[in-house]
Amino acid sequence: MKIILSIVLVISSFLILMFLNPIHFVNLNLLKLQFIQVQKIHPTGTKLIWRKSYIGGQGSSGSWKCNYMVGELRSFQGAREKVIEQYKKVLDYNDDVSILFMDGDSWPLDSILWDWRGEFLDENHIERGKYYIVYMSEKFPALFDLRCKGY
């Protein structure tokens, strides 16, 4: 009976590490807490469209690093330079924060950001407009978590 219990315990521990690795949830929540600093300085005249977070691999080839992303899609009025200026302090201070505008910026094709962009465009049936994503991202070792292999 002890052997069966030991085997079940080892297998269940292994499955938890592969699919529900708790350290990744902790890391994602820490990133969400850091993102609060970005949320505090959103420019006036911008409007939240949606907020998303992600744990997983970077691209279809996988890197065996776990990527964490927290981001907001926002609409804005006026010039994009004013939006950038408002975020300048946090962009200079924190390398993990970035902004991508729907019009004119090069979006990484092998990234969840590209998927988020496509999802937004498909859901809202638009091709252009004054929208941007402000996001934070970090990478950590995958620690046997299959979500981090790639998407």
Q: Domain for residue 11, yes or no?
A: no
Angle formed at CA 22 by CA 16 and CA 28, multiple of 5 degrees: 140
Mean pLDDT of 18-39: 79
Q: Is the pLDDT of residue 119 over 70?
A: yes
Residues 87, 38: contact at Cβ < 8 Å? yes
Residues 51, 109: contact at Cβ < 8 Å? no
Q: Domain for residue 104, yes or no?
A: yes
Q: Domain for residue 94, yes or no?
A: yes
Residue 146 is classified by DSSP as G
Q: Domain for residue 83, yes or no?
A: yes
**Number of compact structural domains in the chain:** 1
| Other CB atoms within 10 A of residue 136 CB | 21
Q: Is the pLDDT of residue 58 over 60?
A: no
Which domain, by its residues, includes 33? 21-148
Q: Domain for residue 125, yes or no?
A: yes
Q: Domain for residue 113, yes or no?
A: yes
Q: Which has the closest alpha carbon to 142: 68, 69, 61?
A: 68
Residues 117, 126: contact at Cβ < 8 Å? no
CA 145 to chain centre: 17
Q: Is the pLDDT of residue 111 over 60?
A: yes
Please give the pLDDT value at position 70.
92
Q: Domain for residue 103, yes or no?
A: yes
